[in-house]
Structure 1
Amino acid sequence: MFNPTKIAVPIIGVLLGVFATTLPAAALDTSNVAFVQTATHTTSIPIGAAEFCHSHPSECQPNATVVAAETLTEARWNQLLNINAHYNDTVVSVTDQDLYRVAEFWTYPNGYGDCEDFALAKRRDLINAGWPASTLLIAVVRQTNGEGHAVLMVRTDRGDLVLDNLDGTINVWNKTPYKYIKRQSQANPGQWVDMFDNRPIVVAALEK
């Protein structure tokens, strides 16, 4: 488990060392369990994402260059930690219904925001920091209570990492408690692909 409150050099060394045993630097093996598998064809786009693309068309165009994964250097790791912590600490989580009086509305947070707003802001800042857009993918997941949720998946050479407003730590996707449904395409953020997540997920029983 990654801890954003500890940014010391030894941590990134341990992280890189652990994944290096399964992901040789010379060859990126995206069939490794650290990477979520996806369908080759596109699927339906979430309504909130479709509306966001309509109002922000420049952010939903095909990527000019598709980078398969970003190399997770110490500097890149610190950028993930800092940007994730910044938004988790400064944005107040509020539902779209309470904030905008609609069930779903994707936008950048204005001090307040829903889960997808956190993900959009983190994605924007990482792109501005030089990360390839094709490695920053908003994903729709299902929580253990059955509710929908959105996170930012970051595809690195050490696996798909998850930046989540509900958890301050940064984890590899299969170390999170979610069922992964679909995410943005690496080739085009305006298109989405289904994710294959066959892990057994325990759904919490609802209280009567």
Structure 2
Amino acid sequence: MFNLRNRKGLAVAAILLGLTVSARAADERPLYASLGDTARAPIGWVEFCTENAAECKAGPSQPRDIVMTQAAWRDLIKVNRWVNETIKPMTDMDHWGVVEKWSIPTDGYGDCEDYVLLKRKMLIDAGWPREALLITVVRDKMGEGHAVLTVKSDKGEFILDNQNENVVAWTETGYRFVKRQSQSDQNVWVSLGDPRPAALTASARDH
């Protein structure tokens, strides 16, 4: 078990982990899935923001991409692996007794969106711009709803995923992208051109 009382210490701990990582980042900059109309927020997001107002600062902001240096790349891999190895998968029904609940996994358990929320929080606490860290709903390789974190950079868009210890370009995930937060307003969600019906919930089974 762990908690996030010392949030800055948690972020620093993840950054300093002595993991062997690859500093490879894609040279090309593939275009992201086309942005569509405003989409409905995933089930659980509004309730999460009501309970965690500081994590969901309202209002428009200036879109920002991060500069993907080798140090930034290593940090992304460290945070992704640390959270994936530290948090144990548990469905919301088993965890909370409800079908869907978004939460920062302070007790060490969570499903896919909870992994995303912790990774996002750690990076923001470490000084990364929230405008470059976008919660994203996809359909995984089984066609089920799943949540990942999109990191927008000058080298392209990369995905932090609890189903993959590596950070990869969005085009390498094998997922179909449904919707994500707007880069100019985190409380606005936009569709990503997936022709199939958008998933209303991000979680499925033990994601």
TM-score by length of 1: 0.78
Q: Cα distance 1:63–1:71, how it changes in 2: closer, same or farther (>3 A)?
A: farther
The answer to whether 1:108 aligns with 2:98 is no
Q: Which amino acid aligns with 1:51?
A: E
Please say if residues 60 and 188 of structure 1, whose CA atoms lie closer than 8 Å, have aligned partners that are also in contact: no
Q: 1:135 aligns with which of 132, 136, 149?
A: 132
**1:88-127 correspondence runs (5 A):** 88-109=84-105, 110-127=107-124
CA distance in 2, matches of 1:77, 1:49: 28
CA distance in 2, matches of 1:189, 1:94: 26
The answer to whether 1:61 aligns with 2:72 is no
CA distance in 2, matches of 1:48, 1:151: 15
CA distance in 1, matches of 2:49, 2:116: 15
The answer to whether 1:196 aligns with 2:193 is yes
Count of residues paired in the alignment? 177
Choose 55-64 or 165-174, whichever is displaced more. 55-64
CA distance in 1, matches of 2:122, 2:76: 10
Tell me the residue number matched to 1:180. Answer: 177
Please say if residues 137 and 148 of structure 2, whose CA atoms lie closer than 8 Å, have aligned partners that are also in contact: yes
Deviations 1:175-197 (A, max 9, x none): 11211100111112111110124
Q: Secondary structure at the match of 1:37?
A: coil
Shift of 1:36: 3.1
Please say if residues 67 and 132 of structure 1, whose CA atoms lie closer than 8 Å, have aligned partners that are also in contact: no
Tell me the residue number matched to 2:4. Answer: none
Please say if residues 62 and 187 of structure 1, whose CA atoms lie closer than 8 Å, have aligned partners that are also in contact: no
Tell me the residue number matched to 2:81. Answer: 85
Deviations 1:126-166 (A, max 9, x none): 01111110000011111222211101111111111000001
Choose 138-147 or 158-167, whichever is displaced more. 138-147
Q: 2:39 aligns with which of 34, 40, 43?
A: 43
Structure 2 unmatched ranges of 5 or more? 1-17, 196-207
How large is the Cα RMSD of the aligned pairs? 2.0
Please say if residues 19 and 78 of structure 2, whose CA atoms lie closer than 8 Å, have aligned partners that are also in contact: no
Give percent identity, aligned residues only: 39
Q: Secondary structure at the match of 1:71?
A: coil
Structure 1 unmatched ranges of 5 or more? 24-31, 199-208
TM-score by length of 2: 0.78
CA distance in 1, matches of 2:193, 2:20: 32
Q: 2:153 aligns with which of 147, 152, 156?
A: 156
Q: Secondary structure at the match of 1:151?
A: strand
Tell me the residue number matched to 1:202. Answer: none
